C-alpha cells in the first residue's frame, strides 16, 4: 500500500530554494546557499515520517551525532560508546 508522502522541489545552484510539501505537515522551505563540494555547514534539514510521529516542528536543535544512537535505538540495538544521544521525540 504505497502512498506518496508529498513532494519535493529542489533548485540548483547557490541560493536555490528547497521546498518539501506534505499533506500532514504542510510546506517546509529553505535555501541552498552552500552548493559546492567543500562548502560544509552545521545547519541542515532533517525530516522524519512514521506512524507514531505527530506533525510539527521540533522546538530544539539536534546534532548529526544524535542520528546513529537514534537509529540503533529504533532497531533495538544499544550503542553505548557513540557520541550523541537518541532523539527522544522520535522514540515516543
CB atoms within 10 A of CB 62: 18
Rounded Cα gap, residues 76 and 85, in angstroms? 15
Residue 92 counted as domain residue: no
Residue 90 counted as domain residue: no
48 has pLDDT over 50: yes
5 has pLDDT over 60: no
Kindly indicate the confidence band of residue 41, based on its pLDDT and cuts at 50, 70 and 90.
low
Residue 37 counted as domain residue: yes
Residue 8 counted as domain residue: yes
pTM above 0.75, yes or no: no
Residue 67 counted as domain residue: no
Domain range spanning residue 15? 1-41
Residue 6 counted as domain residue: yes
Residue 75 counted as domain residue: no
pLDDT of residue 2: 47
Residue 21 counted as domain residue: yes
How many helices and strands in the chain, by DSSP H and E? 1, 3
CA distances from 25 to 7, 47, 63, 73 (A): 12, 11, 22, 25
Total domains, the chain: 1
Chain segment 6-24, per-residue pLDDT in tens: 566 566 666 677 777 777 7
Residue 16 β-bridge partners = 32
Amino acid at each position: 500500500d504505497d502512498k506518496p508522502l508529498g513532494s519535493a522541489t529542489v533548485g540548483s545552484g547557490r541560493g536555490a530554494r528547497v521546498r518539501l510539501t506534505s499533506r500532514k505537515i504542510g510546506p517546509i522551505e529553505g535555501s541552498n546557499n552552500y552548493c559546492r563540494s567543500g562548502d560544509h555547514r552545521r545547519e541542515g534539514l532533517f525530516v522524519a515520517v512514521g506512524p507514531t510521529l505527530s506533525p510539527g516542528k521540533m522546538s530544539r536543535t539536534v546534532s548529526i551525532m544524535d542520528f546513529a544512537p537514534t537509529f540503533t535505538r529504533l532497531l533495538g540495538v544499544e550503542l553505548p560508546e557513540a557520541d550523541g544521544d537518541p532523539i527522544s521525540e522520535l522514540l515516543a
